Amino acid sequence: YVGYDKATAAALDSDGWLKTGDLCFFDDEGFLYIVDRLKELINYKAYQVPPAELEPILQSYPDIADAAVIPYPDEEAGQIPMAYVVRKPRSNINEAAVMDFVAKQVAPYKKIRRVSFINSIPKSPAGKILRRELVSHALSSRSSKLRFTSSNKGKLAELCIPIQHINLFMFFSIFVYGKMVNNFPTTELQLNGRSRSNEIPHYIPFGHSSITLICHNHKKDV
């Protein structure tokens, strides 16, 4: 950030890699998965719940046209996952049915614990869910504010990339997201990237509901 040394320092790690704000984890085979944005996590007790993991499940319900998940303040848990749901025409789905549908497919701490039905999900021109508007709507009937915690769960960590490749990373992020918004068929894009020691293939599968970035080792150059 030009002229903002403190903000620049906060955006980089000790090795000079950019903190992207994307939440990710490595599986047992060393593949890296981007699951959500760090700022959008729901802090339920000692757990972190990515809204982007719950939304595709909600959208798979036959009676649901669209859905979004936000954090909702709770005195005991800190935050709970709350779903905003758009019913399909002639659907009479209720809150209990929505919560039960999700509960059967996720860990207990990821369950939807509050549901509100609306006519449409607010989105940006690019198709991104405007969660702040939903949070504001949810809190409009409350005087209390959201309580955020700093707990971490398991292997989840923020993705960092080499600063010299930030423009390339952002280009492919926008490209992939554009494909998602326009409902392109699920596809796999292969790039030939250079790691610190050798040439490796990088794969970016993308589809309508989520972005998954897969690499072979920690901190590979995109």
Q: What is the pLDDT along the chain (222 residues), one digit of tens a residue?
A: 777 788 788 778 788 787 776 667 788 888 877 665 666 788 899 898 989 899 999 999 999 999 999 999 888 999 999 999 999 999 999 999 999 999 999 999 999 999 999 999 999 998 889 988 998 888 875 544 434 333 434 455 556 656 555 555 554 454 444 433 333 333 333 333 333 333 333 333 333 333 333 333 344 444
- Residue 69: CB atoms within 10 A of its CB come to 27
What whole-number distance in Å separates Cα of residue 196 and Cα of residue 71?
39
Q: Is the dihedral of CA 92, 97, 102, 105 positive or negative?
A: negative
For residue 125, what pLDDT is reported? 92
What whole-number distance in Å separates Cα of residue 51 and Cα of residue 38?
11
Residues facing 84 on adjacent strands: 68, 116
pTM higher than the cut 0.85 = no
Map out the domains of the chain as residue ranges.
5-39+152-206, 40-139
Helix residue ranges per DSSP H, 61-120:
95-103
CATH topology for the 40-139 domain: GMP Synthetase; Chain A, domain 3 (3.30.300)
Q: In what order do the strands lie in the sheet with 157-162?
A: 32-37, 17-26, 157-162
For the record, the structure tokens of 176 come out as: 């992939």
What whole-number distance in Å separates Cα of residue 80 and Cα of residue 69?
10
Question: What is the residue whose two structure tokens read 């955020």?
Answer: 148
**How distant, in Å, are the alpha carbons of 85, 158, 168, 181, 193 from that of 32?**
30, 11, 18, 23, 15
47 contacts: CB under 8 Å, gap ≥ 6: 109, 110, 151, 153
What whole-number distance in Å separates Cα of residue 135 and Cα of residue 116?
12
H or E element: which one contains 134? Answer: helix 131-139
